[in-house]
Amino acid sequence: EAKLSRTRSKFRDNLLDFMLGNKPINADLLEELESQLIMADVGIEATARVMSVLNRQVSRSEVGDSTALRQALQLELVKLLTAVEQPLEIPDSDSPFVILVVGVNGSGKTTTIGKLAKQLQDGGKSVMLAAGDTFRAAAVEQLQTWGERNNVPVISQGSGADSASVIFDAVQSAKARGIDVLIADTAGRLHTQNNLMEELQKVKRVIGKLDPTAPHETLIVLDGGTGQNALNQARQFHETMQLTGMVVTKLDGTAKGGVIFAIAEHLGLPIRFIGVGEKVEDLEVFEAERYVNALVS
């Protein structure tokens, strides 16, 4: 929770300080709370959902003081996130579990892949990486350096290579070597958005040729500091790629810890992990209650 402390303090400064005081619970206060939630990027719909419950509870005198209001708010926020609290499960299998990682440049994709690889490795899985972001030259190097340092094999073909071909090779190699989990990086930007989506679809097709059940997880990495943009990106990727999970990064240094509620409300996709820093250990399995407690209490 320490890593989330900056988010927490901002969230609380913005949202909850006025509730910690002993203000009377009335329509003004509820209206104030509503606008604070929206300003914290919780989103119009998620805010409306929470507020309708709180308004009802207040009108029935079920919530009479600021402590009770905070508890009620906390409960409703947890409810919003419980539906998307679905940790990634990797079954034991003879063939590699293939995780395809997508997202725009700068979202934290490469860093997340490194963190995830380490976490899986620490959990006893053998891991291989595919340097499928062949468009951004530094991405291949970044992944290779990371792999060398952590003893994780990285399949690459240098920048400018065909992404689908790199990932095809990697799946073959992972099968041959009995690897448990293959994590494939992909491009986060091409000359046009259409190019990118076509390339990603091709990657998916090619993986499916080697294993019709793969990719087993198509994970989008979203920068939690980008608010509404993150939502729009996720929608667009979901349309072409049928995402199965999300990672929300940079929740350590942002005032926008609230965006996760909007993401949950709008996309309803499992949030597998959250990124709470730049270090390798700064990737946490997403837990609704823990997240809300870190923000609110």
Q: Which positions ≥6 away from 134 have C-beta within 8 Å?
A: 140, 157, 158, 159, 160, 161, 162, 163, 166, 187
- Residue 1 as a binder of ligand GDP (CB under 6 A): the answer is no
3-state secondary structure of 284: strand
Among 43, 96, 132, 188, binds ligand GDP (CB under 6 A): 188
Please identify, among the stretches 78-86, 103-111, 194-202, 255-263, the one whose residues bind ligand GDP according to the rule CB under 6 A: 103-111
**Cα distances (angstroms) measured from residue 288 to each of 63, 67, 78, 115:** 23, 21, 6, 21
Q: In angstroms, give the least distance from the CB of 247 to ligand GDP.
A: 9
Among 10, 118, 204, 250, binds ligand GDP (CB under 6 A): 250
Among 108, 227, 258, 270, binds ligand GDP (CB under 6 A): 108
Residues in contact with ligand GDP, counted by CB under 6 A, come to a total of 19
Q: In angstroms, give the least distance from the CB of 106 to ligand GDP.
A: 5
3-state secondary structure of 128: strand
Among 128, 167, 276, 292, binds ligand GDP (CB under 6 A): 276
Q: Which positions ≥6 away from 61 have C-beta within 8 Å?
A: none
- Residue 275 as a binder of ligand GDP (CB under 6 A): the answer is yes
- Residue 257 as a binder of ligand GDP (CB under 6 A): the answer is no
**Cα distances (angstroms) measured from residue 242 to each of 103, 230, 267, 271:** 13, 16, 11, 14
Looking at 99-226, list the stretches that DSSP marks H as alpha helix, in order from N- to C-terminal side: 109-122, 137-150, 163-176, 193-210
Which residues make up the interface to ligand GDP (CB under 6 A)? 103, 105-111, 139, 188, 249-250, 252-253, 275-278, 282
